[in-house]
Structure 1
Amino acid sequence: MATILRTDGPVELPDELPTVALRDLVFFPYMVLPLLIGRPASLAALERADDSDEGLLLLVAQHEVGCESPTASDVHAVGTVARIVQANTLPDGTRRVVLEGVGRARVRHWTAAEGELRAEVEPFVEREHAAPDDDTEIEALARSVVRQFQEYAALHERIADDLAPTLVEVRDRVRLAHLVSGHLLLDPPEKQELLEAAAVGDQLLALQTLLTRELEILRIEEKLDQQIRSQMDSDRRQFYLNEQLKAIHRELGVEAGEEWVELEQAVESGDLPDHARERAQRELKRLRKLNPVAPEAAVIRTYLDWILALPWSARSAEALDVDRASELLDGAHHGLGEVKDRILDHIAVLSGVRQLEGPILCLVGPPGVGKTSLGRSIAAALGREFVRVSLGGVRDEAEIRGHRRTYVGALPGRVLQGMRRSGTTNPVFLLDEVDKLARDFHGDPGAALLEVLDPEQNATFTDHYLELEYDLSDVLFVATANTLAGIPEPLRDRMEVIRLPGYLDTEKRVIVERFLWPRQRDRHGLGADTVELGGDAAGAVISRYTREAGVRELDRQISRIARKLARRRVEGDALPPRVEMEHVTALLGPPPYLPPEPDDSRDRVGLANGLAWTAAGGEILDVEVAVVPGSGEVRLTGTLGDVMKESAMAALTWARSRARVLGLEPDFHTRVDVHVHIPEGATPKDGPSAGITMAVALISALTGIPSAEAVALTGEITLRGRVLPVGGIREKSVAALRNGVRQVVLPHGNEPEIERLPDEVRDGLRFVPVRTMDEVIEVALTHRPHPNASDAPLPLSPQ
């Protein structure tokens, strides 16, 4: 009888033991495990072992798991001797038995037994136990195995949490090796190799190799599990948000996914050019990959909406009837012949060629002359859509070209916004107040307009937001401005300037009768047949209550008359059937402007009437000069700009150079002080228009000769007495006629402009073109100064 040595004492091993074949299990010494035994051969072996005094049996692993009736050739020759700790019989005949591993044994040979396996065995090793710390290498391997198994147990869910700490207290390395081997979750062949290890060192080394491998696999699995858990959390969150979005869509009556389908159909069926459709498809593909609630998804969606909303090829059916257009323009505006002719020319050309590169018109004129409303009438005459964009105060280039999509709240510029509102590629696009563009560190919007208004470039206009070429060549751009001075020169070069100088009094009367009074009468509820406005009353309002080139203030005064009449009707007073001149003062109060009265010729000494151009139209400019005893000091007052100061000094120098011809002492300037003043000093005045006016007033003051009363002058003077041409002749002429002037002295270089003046102006004024100041004095003074008799006249300056 052999003996198996254990730390808790030797165990006597019988020569022959009943054998139980195990499927998918390798039993190790020192393990206590419950087993279910149900096969007849195994039950018979268990019964024999239970009846014996020792209660021992041999547990061996099968080669093949699927073998139901294993024989000696179907099992391994090395197994574990186990002791029966507890055995119970279950209702179905199966035995539940708790076994404790005693030690390893080798089968010497199998003995014949009917219905069961029985084997003669011997201990697998002569001595299995190693003394603590008897081998440094074994001790190092044992510690490494314990450390690795602790990590293995922490990573593996099927290992009990209290197992790993107990292994640290095990000092028997053989027992340690068997416990670790038994609890590793390995395939039976690998466990069988561990069971058949010849020495404890070999078993520990094999355990270290297997644990290293399993730990690497477990770490990878843990990493993958974390990634999967993270992805699952993200997916769950996205699923939750998508479910919320679907619920919102259901509440709104929109099925989930319907929005993407609608977008795709809109892109495919939309009237887009190839480059725009390709860009839209690319952005839609990006949008599908994004979470619908992501901020970038909203940006892309807005971008797609803009691409789909812009007109790429839709055009208005133009009305190319010149007669119809003429009737429409005449019906909406009185006067403005030059503008109307230009529009009719454009329509006539379009009727012949059917396509014309969009011109850029610039309507320049004072406030209230109807520039903005004229743009709307142009659109009606052409049968096009009308779009208006106000540029007053715009200082950011992005307002024209749009913002980059990287900025929060980015939008296309005002040009593309206007095109979207129009819905066509050929609207009439009004750029209002283009002379009031500002510029600062945000950029120069005037420079950004260069591409918009250049016929050679606007066919490929690119907005920063859209980042696609957009064709503006079919657009009829109409700009408005009060003055050309505020428009940058490169921008002005791209526009065809049409001036609107203002309305004559006769034109204003027609405007009142046809437009202003009917509109104000209806607006205030007076009725078409209630009250009429007489022509004399309209003339009184025009001449005594307004002084303007346009009709804006006139419209306000007409509105006051309508309000007063509406109030009287409410109070029960009888309304006159026709408002006459005598009613105007009662309704509007004392007039602020009175008709000019003839001046005493003595009061005209040192005074001259000048003509000036302002952003509000032409104005009469009075220049006064006083000569007092002094020492040659010259004073200039009246808030004069640099140009007018230079003109005053040039006039004085010319007078000194012509002293003898003018009947003055050559050194007169040393004995007098000259004071040049222009009334209304609070109003800044500048510009090259008052040179000859100052010279006439100065000569009048020096010689004592009065200036002609009904003569107004405009022109610039040089040191040699030449008269240079100036601008604004049309506006100045209208102002002269409005203020009762009968004769206008103007530079000879401006004579061709007389032919372009309205007939009423040419009939009501006498124009005197002049080349030199000598010619000016002949007309502007009541008589020519007498040369100094003591000296020969100085020769005239070369002309």
Structure 2
Amino acid sequence: MFEEEKNDILRFEDNSGPVISIISDDLDEQDCNINEGDLGTEIPILALRNTIIFPGTSLPIAVARTKSLRAIRSLKKKKALIGLVCQRNPETEDPDLHDLYDIGVIGEVIRVIELSDDENVTVIFQGKKRFRLNSITQQSPYLKGTYSIIDSTKAEADDKEYEILLDSIRDATLHMMRMFGEPPRELVQKLKSRNSTAILVNYCCTNLPIAAAEKQELLNIDNEKDRAYRLLMILNRETQMMEMKMNIQMRTREELNQQQKEYFLQQQLRTIQDELGGNPQQADIDEFKERALRKKWSKEVAEAVEREIKKLERLHPQSPDYSTQFSYLQTVLDLPWNEFTKDNFNLKHAQKVLDRDHFGLEKVKERIIEHLAVLKLKGDLKSPIICLYGPPGVGKTSLGKSVAEALGRKYVRVSFGGLHDESEIRGHRRTYIGAMPGRIIQNMLKAGSSNPVFVLDEIDKIGNDFRGDPASALLEVLDPEQNSTFHDNYLNIDYDLSKVMFIATANNISSISQPLLDRMELIDISGYILEEKVEIARRHLIPKQLENHGLSPDALEIPKKTIEKIIDGYTRESGVRSLDKELAKVMRKLALKVATKANYNKSLEIQDLPEFLGEQKFSRDEYQGNEYAGVVTGLAWTSVGGEILFIETSLSKGKGGKLTLTGNLGDVMKESAMLALEYLRSHNQYLGIEDKAFENWHVHLHVPEGAIPKDGPSAGITMITSLASAFTQRKVRANLAMTGEITLRGKVLPVGGIREKILAAKRAGIKEIILCKENQKDIKEIKDSYLKGLKFHFVSDIKEVLDIALLKDKVKNPIDLKVKEEAKM
């Protein structure tokens, strides 16, 4: 191989376009001439694939075929010449004369670059003269052939048309190059130079991005002006095609919406994340699949969840549906499917826990122990639906915690007070924005087990409006036959609630719909007697308030008498909530004394109460005696427990026998008063009342505490006794109270709230109570300690009531005889 010259440095520019050769810095048209004496009659031939070089241009060509390598290595001197001819078919490996184009270019070897493997050689050629290949004289070891030089027809020196033609070629070439980016400044200057005219055409022909066959047509043109015309036409055609292609690409690119762009970016991000250690989205899906395999759910649920996971895989992470689907699967997988806590079957322990936390409430405790006993024997039992109803503050809600602890179960609570949207129970469908499961499923998530104690607080205060009726939605939840397949709209999968122990609480069951009541086992928690409240205060309330106020357990002692005085004089309730507040007030006063290091008596006596609690708020409901005719003690039920109330009747002289009712009475109570008067009119002979007495005396019936609304039929026998006492002026039996409804025929009907009414009677010092005979069954369900000191009269007719209630004695100042005589007229 010949030695290379060190100063022959050819610079190549990378413009990301078709330009791969340049015009040599010092080349002119004279340099394209060759000394034909240096060639001889034959010349080595180098067959090229898809490459055509024009005179005056330089081009690097990779040489790899064996014959081609031998032809290059056969050149022994610097600037050796070789014939460069393009193949008609680039796939031909061993071309012959018919496989090569007729016209080629004699090229001068400028530099040979050999790689270390000696199998590939890059040779930089400079085109010199066109020639015609006449014949192939040698096939091996490399091609050799005879030739004849072809001279091109020059344009005239002063041809203005040719100059304009060259300028157009320059502009078109620069325009095409700029489509691929800004070309190098030196190249632009060289193209704009007017020194090389014919060379410019050949340079452009060499680097045109067109097929080899079309380039060969340009090389075959002898007239340089014709070649320039043909070149300009091709340049314009290729430029237009490139502009159309770029416009199409631009329009296509603009049509890509933001979601597609984000998709491509996300794909890139996914690739980056994979390189950094994995895709978080795929990691979440894999985690879901793994958690799903560990769940103890049915085959149907497993298939449904598998479908939802596959749906998540198909969603794009930036899609709005992705987060909705992700949250849904998270909720389903977090739910405790057939995951239970172990029940504690130690009945003695359960009884101990219930007795420790709540004093009294024997019915509820008995029911829980029974449930545990059956569960222990059978091993599987549908949990009961218990409804605890009674006045506020009696411990209905807190009882749920004790039951949960006694059973060893999780405890959850949901308050239904003011709830009026059915979706709060059944959940929202996932088609809505912000959809979420209902409160039942939410609390099952919180519980983390399928058998918690679930307290449904204030179930009687559920409302309804245009958004549905939540109470009706609860029918499925609280039905042991249906709640094994509870359907939440959000989950859209049946969930088993049959092992949940539901405990509902209510103040007034009359406001609960009948179908809902039928599904629950009602347990009445009516209230506490004085003795029970004292024990609750000593065992629970006082220690709790001492701790809440940062006081030591021995900071204050409250004797029983003082607690009784607080209950009687500062509270009026069936429960102990107000008592708790009053004790908290005592502890705050005590905390101030302790904090300021003031002296105080460690035993709170009755005479100290005004200092801690102020003056007494309530006077005890006490029996007021029987010195007045027409005043009878009745028993009433209120939302805070039972109370006694007095019915007062007075007579005033007047024609027509007008009846006046006062005391903020409801319609039912007014009807009871009219009913009582009518019965008295029709049975006046039984009591010895003259007929005309009803026409000559106005009757005024009043129930004290007129600001408090009163209603109900249970004051019927009390009203008729009051009217009879007023008309006969006979005394009413001392320490007697009564409750019962009356009919026009004189029958006495049963009423409710018997336990609360009995407690109210005991507080007031009543000794005897008249009740309907049918209420006798209610008395049997009340503890003996509540009944101690009371005598009951069970009646079925009004005459029996009057015989028991009215004494033969007259009051001290009866209506005088004169008035009586006037009444007989």
TM-score by length of 2: 0.71
Q: For residues 564 and 96 of structure 1, what CA distance do their matches in structure 2 show? A: 107
Q: For residues 121 and 584 of structure 1, what CA distance do their matches in structure 2 show? A: 135
- Deviation per CA, 1:11-54: give whole Å up to 9, x if none: xxxxxxx999883468799x99666899799999x999xxxxxx
- Deviation per CA, 1:639-688: give whole Å up to 9, x if none: 33232233233223323333444444546555554433322233222223
Give the CA deviation at 1:729.
1.3
Q: How does 1:124-163 map to 2 (within 5 A)?
A: none
Equivalent in 503, 514, 518 of residue 489 of structure 1 = 514
Q: For residues 481 and 270 of structure 1, what CA distance do their matches in structure 2 show? A: 37
User: In structure 2, do the counterparts of structure 1 residues 208 and 669 end up closer, same or farther at CA, with 3 Å as the change threshold?
Assistant: farther
Q: How does 1:574-613 map to 2 (within 5 A)?
A: 574-576=600-602, 578-584=603-609, 587-595=612-620, 599=624, 601-605=626-630, 607-613=631-637
Residue 427 of structure 1 aligns to which amino acid in structure 2? Answer: P
- Deviation per CA, 1:69-121: give whole Å up to 9, x if none: 977444335789x9x9xx997799x99999899xx999999999xx9866689
User: In structure 2, do the counterparts of structure 1 residues 232 and 425 end up closer, same or farther at CA, with 3 Å as the change threshold?
Assistant: closer
Aligned to 2:412: 387
Q: Aligned pair 1:535/2:586, yes or no?
A: no
Contact 1:26 1:192 in 2 (8 A): no
Q: Aligned pair 1:623/2:647, yes or no?
A: yes
Residue 346 of structure 1 aligns to which amino acid in structure 2? Answer: H
Q: For residues 675 and 194 of structure 1, what CA distance do their matches in structure 2 show? A: 132
Q: For residues 512 and 111 of structure 1, what CA distance do their matches in structure 2 show? A: 128
User: In structure 2, do the counterparts of structure 1 residues 421 and 604 end up closer, same or farther at CA, with 3 Å as the change threshold?
Assistant: farther
Equivalent in 406, 414, 421 of residue 439 of structure 2 = 414
User: In structure 2, do the counterparts of structure 1 residues 618 and 770 end up closer, same or farther at CA, with 3 Å as the change threshold?
Assistant: same
Aligned to 1:480: 505
Q: For residues 256 and 216 of structure 1, what CA distance do their matches in structure 2 show? A: 41
Give the CA deviation at 1:756.
1.4
User: In structure 2, do the counterparts of structure 1 residues 584 and 58 end up closer, same or farther at CA, with 3 Å as the change threshold?
Assistant: closer
Count of residue pairs the alignment pairs up? 737
Give the CA deviation at 1:343.
1.6
Contact 2:622 2:764 in 1 (8 A): no
Aligned to 1:324: 349
Aligned to 2:339: 314
User: In structure 2, do the counterparts of structure 1 residues 582 and 63 end up closer, same or farther at CA, with 3 Å as the change threshold?
Assistant: closer
Contact 1:41 1:116 in 2 (8 A): no
What is the alpha-carbon root mean square deviation over aligned residues?
Answer: 5.8
Q: For residues 439 and 549 of structure 2, what CA distance do their matches in structure 1 show? A: 36
Contact 1:604 1:708 in 2 (8 A): no
Aligned to 1:718: 743
Residue 649 of structure 2 aligns to which amino acid in structure 1? Answer: V
Residue 472 of structure 2 aligns to which amino acid in structure 1? Answer: A
Range moving further from structure 2, 355-364 or 773-782: 773-782
Q: Aligned pair 1:404/2:444, yes or no?
A: no
Find the residue that maps to 2:733 and give its secondary structure: coil
Find the residue that maps to 1:532 and give its secondary structure: coil
Residue 621 of structure 1 aligns to which amino acid in structure 2? Answer: L
Range moving further from structure 2, 268-277 or 532-541: 268-277
Aligned to 1:144: none
Find the residue that maps to 1:478 and give its secondary structure: strand
Aligned to 2:193: none
Residue 573 of structure 1 aligns to which amino acid in structure 2? Answer: N
TM-score by length of 1: 0.73
Give the CA deviation at 1:428.
1.6
Q: For residues 625 and 307 of structure 1, what CA distance do their matches in structure 2 show? A: 68
Residue 744 of structure 1 aligns to which amino acid in structure 2? Answer: I
Q: For residues 546 and 359 of structure 2, what CA distance do their matches in structure 1 show? A: 19
Contact 1:21 1:42 in 2 (8 A): no
Find the residue that maps to 1:533 and give its secondary structure: coil
Equivalent in 372, 376, 379 of residue 354 of structure 1 = 379
Give the CA deviation at 1:487.
1.7
Q: For residues 520 and 242 of structure 1, what CA distance do their matches in structure 2 show? A: 60
Structure 2 unaligned spans of 5+? 1-38, 62-70, 114-121, 152-172, 185-201, 222-226, 811-819
Aligned to 1:554: 579
Q: Aligned pair 1:696/2:692, yes or no?
A: no
Residue 476 of structure 2 aligns to which amino acid in structure 1? Answer: E
Give the CA deviation at 1:392.
1.7
Aligned to 2:760: 735
Give the CA deviation at 1:423.
2.6
Q: For residues 183 and 598 of structure 2, what CA distance do their matches in structure 1 show? A: 106
Equivalent in 583, 589, 599 of residue 573 of structure 1 = 599
Range moving further from structure 2, 406-415 or 728-737: 406-415
Equivalent in 429, 441, 461 of residue 436 of structure 1 = 461
Give the CA deviation at 1:207.
13
Contact 1:641 1:687 in 2 (8 A): yes
Find the residue that maps to 1:315 and give its secondary structure: coil
Give the CA deviation at 1:497.
0.2
Contact 2:110 2:126 in 1 (8 A): no
Aligned to 1:775: 800
Residue 619 of structure 1 aligns to which amino acid in structure 2? Answer: E
Aligned to 1:269: 294
Aligned to 2:364: 339
Find the residue that maps to 1:764 and give its secondary structure: coil
Aligned to 1:644: 669
Q: For residues 28 and 427 of structure 1, what CA distance do their matches in structure 2 show? A: 89
User: In structure 2, do the counterparts of structure 1 residues 591 and 33 end up closer, same or farther at CA, with 3 Å as the change threshold?
Assistant: same
Q: For residues 382 and 67 of structure 1, what CA distance do their matches in structure 2 show? A: 92
Give the CA deviation at 1:502.
0.9
User: In structure 2, do the counterparts of structure 1 residues 218 and 746 end up closer, same or farther at CA, with 3 Å as the change threshold?
Assistant: same
Q: Aligned pair 1:752/2:777, yes or no?
A: yes
Contact 1:107 1:122 in 2 (8 A): no
User: In structure 2, do the counterparts of structure 1 residues 59 and 640 end up closer, same or farther at CA, with 3 Å as the change threshold?
Assistant: same
Q: For residues 243 and 62 of structure 1, what CA distance do their matches in structure 2 show? A: 47
Q: Aligned pair 1:366/2:391, yes or no?
A: yes
Q: For residues 111 and 581 of structure 1, what CA distance do their matches in structure 2 show? A: 141
Contact 1:108 1:121 in 2 (8 A): no
Find the residue that maps to 1:388 and give its secondary structure: strand
- Deviation per CA, 1:739-781: give whole Å up to 9, x if none: 2122222222222222112213333222222222222222233
Find the residue that maps to 1:334 and give its secondary structure: coil
Give the CA deviation at 1:459.
1.0
- Deviation per CA, 1:183-232: give whole Å up to 9, x if none: 874443576689999xx9xx999999999999999999888888798865
Aligned to 2:198: none
- Deviation per CA, 1:46-69: give whole Å up to 9, x if none: 999xxxxxxxx9997433558899
Q: For residues 719 and 424 of structure 1, what CA distance do their matches in structure 2 show? A: 58
Q: How does 1:106-185 map to 2 (within 5 A)?
A: 185=209
User: In structure 2, do the counterparts of structure 1 residues 566 and 33 end up closer, same or farther at CA, with 3 Å as the change threshold?
Assistant: closer
Range moving further from structure 2, 440-449 or 221-230: 221-230
User: In structure 2, do the counterparts of structure 1 residues 207 and 666 end up closer, same or farther at CA, with 3 Å as the change threshold?
Assistant: farther
Aligned to 1:5: none
User: In structure 2, do the counterparts of structure 1 residues 68 and 611 end up closer, same or farther at CA, with 3 Å as the change threshold?
Assistant: closer
Q: Aligned pair 1:426/2:451, yes or no?
A: yes
Give the CA deviation at 1:467.
2.6
- Deviation per CA, 1:705-732: give whole Å up to 9, x if none: 3433422221222222222221111221
